[in-house]
Amino acid sequence: MANFNIDAKKDLTYDAIVVGSGISGGWAAKELCEKGLKTLVLERGPIVEHVVDYPTMNWDPWDMEYRGGLTPEEKKKHYKNIRSGWVGKDTEHFWADDEANPYTEEKPFLWLRGHQMGGKSLLWGKQTYRWSDLDFEANAKDGHGVDWPIRYKDIEPWYTYVEKFAGISGEALGLPQLPDSHFLPPMELNCVEKHVKERIEKNFEGRNMIIGRVAHLTQPHNGRGQCQNRNRCSRGCPYGAYFSSNAVTLPAANATGNLTIRPYSIVQEVIYDDAKGKATGVRIIDAETNEVIDYSSKIIFVNASALSTAHILMKSTSKRFENGLGNDSGELGHNLMDHTYRVGAIGKVDGFEDKYYKGRRPNGIYIPRYVNIDEKSKSDKFVRGFGFQGSGYRGGNPANIESFGADFKDSILKPGDWEFFITGFAECLPYHDNKISLNKDVLDKWGQPTLTIDAEFKENEKALNKQIQEDAVEMLETAGLKDVMGFDKEHPPGYGVHEMGTARMGRDPKTSVLNGFNQVHAAKNVFVTDGACMTSSSCVNPSLTYMALTARAADHAVSELKKFNI
Amino acid sequence: MDRRKALKKAGLLAGATIAMPSLFSLLQSCKNETRLDWQPEFFTEDEAKTISALIDTILPTTDTPGGLDVKADMFIDKVVAQTYDAEGQQNMRNAIAEFNASCKEKYGAVFPELSDADKTAVLKEAEASSPKFNPGVWGTTVGDQQPVGFYRSMKSMAIWAYFTSEEMGENVLSYDPIPGTYEPCKPLSEVGNRWSL
Ligand SMILES: Cc1cc2nc3c(=O)[nH]c(=O)nc-3n(C[C@H](O)[C@H](O)[C@H](O)COP(=O)(O)OP(=O)(O)OC[C@H]3O[C@@H](n4cnc5c(N)ncnc54)[C@H](O)[C@@H]3O)c2cc1C
Ligand code: SF4
């Protein structure tokens, strides 16, 4: 890939500025560049060029000094991120430095961040699902939060548009609550997963178990290679076989010649000109030199990820917006949502001892939502719903086997028991009092105010979790599994890494921050298309929806620019 | 629960109270033994001998390599030296001392100096009395994890060190860094040993 243009010195003025280069920022950059706009992407972390900057992508355990273990210094640097269980030597460099970037937890909340070109698009799990009208109509129907200003039909063509470029593998099912994507061939279930699928589908009407829908290429696509089943994705993929900004959208943006990307640029605020009545650019601090620089542009896309985006808007004060840009409603920073996570069941499967698999499939199974989808499936215990992810594999912890010595050692060279687990993701309601606020007492490495996060799961989420665990145990027991164990890790929000809602879309400027095209109601040349914009949280993974909303908003932005409306 | 906490909360025989002989007499007892042929970074020579003896009892050499053949003891020493904080390191020392103290009390010598039969007896008892690891889902343990105690923690570490060694990973276990296709239901006989990755 051609090197990126990182020289933002000679030019302080662009057609468009994009803040952040993660999943949503990458799409904004691609769309705006392809539509001919000179676009500056401001990224707070370093450049991570596809393949070249994936130092660990081919490491085996023995290539690491401590086979993946971290030193106390490394653990300290990631003292918050590490609680996720995802941070090891192989990916440590893609997780943000918690010491340089502190935040305050009023109640426990895990804020997982990736501060580099590509953001969390390098680290994500690639589970990719469309939302449906069940989701877009939910707030209006049960009265929680405000109504979405859009419906499925508004976003449907944009799902197709981003899916065709990104490449999503999966199986079509025709379920109204989980619309089919434009699919590449699905990955395959292994024998135990097929076995469990049959039993569940036979015994529980309306429940389906499918292979996960994932942003992985099961065949070569748009010049990128096919997935080789290495399951080392979060180190960066040498084949470009999963969707990341680094492998997919940013190279496309770069190919237009319209892209400038400036690393180590921490955007502090969006500059609003009271006289002109619009935003005119952004102010950054150079993370390495502490230099403060203003860049100007006609339109600004803020894609720093849900909490960081709201943080930037909160710090963007002016005479017109004393409480933060676009905060006429007082909703900026509120309605923070995530999905509940790690509640489900695990058990053992007998009878497939002579079967194994080859390849480390970077994907598992999915059980789409089956509660509260119609009158028949209505629950009287909670509103909204949940879906399950999971997988079957040969695991078993050899240290648990009550034996040692020669025979023991020879036996553990063979694969262990078949295990199968499912874990639910439940929808979280938008509560006004789940919020973030500016903290001027705790400053970051650059002397800037940080965030205080004050959010919790409430009664509805707890009722959903209870049902998830009960259903999970029942399904696995009915499927004939042994030693079935239900679990609920009672994770506080944040662990699901699906932060949403801190600058929500809505029909009414009095109760929302953004309109139906993701424009700040009262500053229409400012767009927010990351998780901050979400009005409700659905129970399915959100990133595909960020992609579709971003492409849609970029299209609208350029057409409004051409009409001189913004 | 992480391994450090588990070590802190339970000794070898979880639940049992163990009378601690003075550490000094324990240290004395190893004096006349053969010296280690490697220089530990963290362990004292006597501690290192205890770890090596444990690994050799759990994963002995047969027609496939044993734990000591792939230097699992040296690796564990390095891991404790470089990746444990001071508290974790101290817990490790205490746990080894407790383990040896109970060996001494019951069998008259620290673990590395016991006869093979006595070593087997100690580990059989440890197997029977120590709780198991709960299963994990995506990097975290699920359910309410009982402290597994020193023996099972060390067994787990030994197996980890053994399986992730280059010799085991590339030459004994089935090794395939770039599988290409996913074959969902393959006869085990066509794969052989468990996948190393
Ligand atoms: C382990 C893991 C698994 C996941 N699995 C899934 C999944 O299976 N499916 C799914 O849909 N989602 C998943 N997610 C969530 C997914 O990663 C996020 O939804 C997605 O990356 C959000 O995109 P974004 O553009 O909002 O933010 P990010 O991708 O986080 O990008 C934000 C970018 O903005 C930059 N930035 C932040 N602040 C500033 C600033 N002030 N100035 C300049 N730049 C700034 C950051 O450095 C970063 O590059 C997962 C996440 C993790 C961590
Ligand atoms: S599993 Fe597939 S996408 Fe992931 S790193 Fe390997 S080849 Fe790339």
What single string gives the DSSP state of each residue in A384-425?
A: S-EEEEEEEEE---GGGSS--SHHHHHHHTS---EEEEEEEE
Residue with tokens 């053949």: B69
Nearest CA in chain A to B171: A413
- The minimal CB distance from B60 to the residues A406, A413, A414 is found for A406
Nearest CA in chain A to B74: A66
| A window 408-447, beta carbon within 8 A of B | 408-410, 412-416, 419, 421, 423
DSSP A227: P
B186 sits in which H/E element: strand B183-187
Asked if B123 lies within 8 A of A346 by C-beta distance, the reply is no
Residues of A in contact with B183 (CB under 8 A): 357-359
What class, spelled out in words, does domain A13-59+115-127+245-337+434-448+499-563 have in CATH?
alpha beta
A394 lies within 8 A of chain B by CB: yes
Give the pLDDT of residue B35.
Answer: 72
CA of A214 to the centre of ligand 1 (A): 17
Give the pLDDT of residue B74.
Answer: 98
Q: B44-54 pLDDT, tens per residue? A: 999 999 999 99
- The minimal CB distance from A70 to the residues B59, B83, B132 is found for B83
Asked if A359 lies within 8 A of B179 by C-beta distance, the reply is yes
Half-sphere exposure at residue A245, Cβ-oriented, CA atoms within 13 angstroms:
32
Tell me how far CA of residue A262 lies from CA of A45, A265, A272, A283, A468, in angstroms.
Answer: 9, 6, 22, 13, 45
The shortest C-alpha distance from B30 to chain A (Å) reads 24
Rounded CA separation B173/A69 (Å): 21
Mutant choice from B83, B132, B159 vs A, greatest count of A C-beta within 10 A: B83
A62 lies within 8 A of chain B by CB: yes
Residue with tokens 């530990």: B40
In this structure, what are the phi and psi dihedrals at residue A19, rounded to the nearest 5 degrees?
Answer: -95, 110
Q: What percent of chain B has a predicted confidence (pLDDT) above 90?
A: 78
CA of B141 to the centre of ligand 1 (A): 25
Q: Where are the domains of chain A?
A: 13-59+115-127+245-337+434-448+499-563, 187-231+339-427+458-488
Mutant choice from A188, A189, A342, A358 vs B, greatest count of B C-beta within 10 A: A358
CA of A123 to the centre of ligand 1 (A): 8
What pTM did the predictor assign? 0.94
**Are B71 and A418 in contact, with CB atoms under 8 Å apart?**
no
Half-sphere exposure at residue B131, Cβ-oriented, CA atoms within 13 angstroms:
17
Q: What stretches of A130-277 adopt beta strand conformation (E)?
A: 168-169, 183-184, 210-211, 259-262, 265-273
Rounded CA separation A82/A64 (Å): 18
Give the pLDDT of residue A11.
Answer: 87
Distance of CA A10 to the CA centre of its chain: 34
Cβ of A472 less than 6 Å from ligand 2: no
CA of A243 to the centre of ligand 1 (A): 13
CA of A229 to the centre of ligand 2 (A): 5
Burial level of A564, CB count in 10 A (0-12/13-18/19+)? exposed
Task: List all residues whose CB is within 6 A of at least one atom of ligand 1.
Answer: A 19-25, 42-45, 86, 112, 114-115, 119-121, 123-127, 265-267, 303-305, 308, 312, 497-498, 530-531, 541-543, 546
Asked if A414 lies within 8 A of B193 by C-beta distance, the reply is yes
Q: What is the mean pLDDT of residues B120-124?
A: 98
Task: Reply yes or no on whether the pLDDT at B6 is more than 50.
Answer: no
Give the pLDDT of residue A166.
Answer: 98
Structural tokens at position A173 = 């099912």
Rounded CA separation A297/A279 (Å): 8
DSSP string, A57-116: TT--GGGSTTTT---HHHHHHTTTGGGGS---TTTGGGS--TTTS--EESS--------S
The shortest C-alpha distance from B156 to chain A (Å) reads 5
Rounded CA separation A368/A363 (Å): 15
Give the pLDDT of residue A3.
Answer: 79
Full pLDDT tens readout for chain A, 566 residues: 457 888 877 789 999 999 999 999 999 999 999 999 999 999 999 999 999 999 999 999 999 999 999 999 999 999 999 999 999 999 999 999 999 999 999 999 999 999 999 999 999 999 999 999 999 999 999 999 999 999 999 999 999 999 999 999 999 999 999 999 999 999 999 999 999 999 999 999 999 999 999 999 999 999 999 999 999 999 999 999 999 999 999 999 999 999 999 999 999 999 999 999 999 999 999 999 999 999 999 999 999 999 999 999 999 999 999 999 999 999 999 999 999 998 999 999 999 999 999 999 999 999 999 999 999 999 999 999 999 999 999 999 999 999 999 999 999 999 999 999 999 999 999 999 999 999 999 999 999 999 999 999 999 999 999 999 999 999 999 999 999 999 998 889 999 999 999 999 999 999 999 999 999 999 999 999 999 999 999 999 999 999 999 999 999 999 999 999 99
Nearest to A376 by CA among A235, A177, A547: A177
Rounded CA separation A5/B60 (Å): 58
Cβ of A84 less than 6 Å from ligand 2: no
Asked if A404 lies within 8 A of B123 by C-beta distance, the reply is yes
Residues of B in contact with A69 (CB under 8 A): 79, 82-83
Give the pLDDT of residue B163.
Answer: 98
Rounded CA separation B131/B142 (Å): 15
Give the pLDDT of residue B34.
Answer: 61
Task: Reply yes or no on whether the pLDDT at B29 is more than 80.
Answer: no
Nearest CA in chain A to B78: A66
Residue with tokens 């010598």: B109
Three-state DSSP class for residue A261: strand
Task: Reply yes or no on whether the pLDDT at B13 is more than 80.
Answer: no
A349 sits in which H/E element: strand A343-349
Residues of A in contact with B180 (CB under 8 A): 228-229, 359
Task: Reply yes or no on whether the pLDDT at B26 is more than 70.
Answer: no
Give the pLDDT of residue A5.
Answer: 86
Instruction: Point out which residues pair with A283 in neighbouring strands.
Output: A269, A294
Give the pLDDT of residue A490.
Answer: 82
The shortest C-alpha distance from A4 to chain B (Å) reads 29
Rounded CA separation A499/A307 (Å): 7
Q: B170-180 pLDDT, tens per residue? A: 999 999 999 99
Q: Which amino acid is at A47?
A: I
Cβ of A437 less than 6 Å from ligand 2: no
Q: Which residues contact B107 (CB under 8 A, 6 or more apart)?
A: B114, B118, B121, B122
CA of A326 to the centre of ligand 2 (A): 41
Burial level of A438, CB count in 10 A (0-12/13-18/19+)? middle
Which protein residue's CA is at the shortest distance from atom 2 of ligand 2?
A227
Give the pLDDT of residue A59.
Answer: 97
The shortest C-alpha distance from A533 to chain B (Å) reads 29
CA of B87 to the centre of ligand 2 (A): 38
DSSP B170: I
A405 lies within 8 A of chain B by CB: yes
Q: B99-115 pLDDT, tens per residue? A: 999 999 999 999 999 99
Three-state DSSP class for residue A34: helix
Residue with tokens 């999905």: A339
For residue B32, the tally of other CB atoms under 10 A from its CB is 7
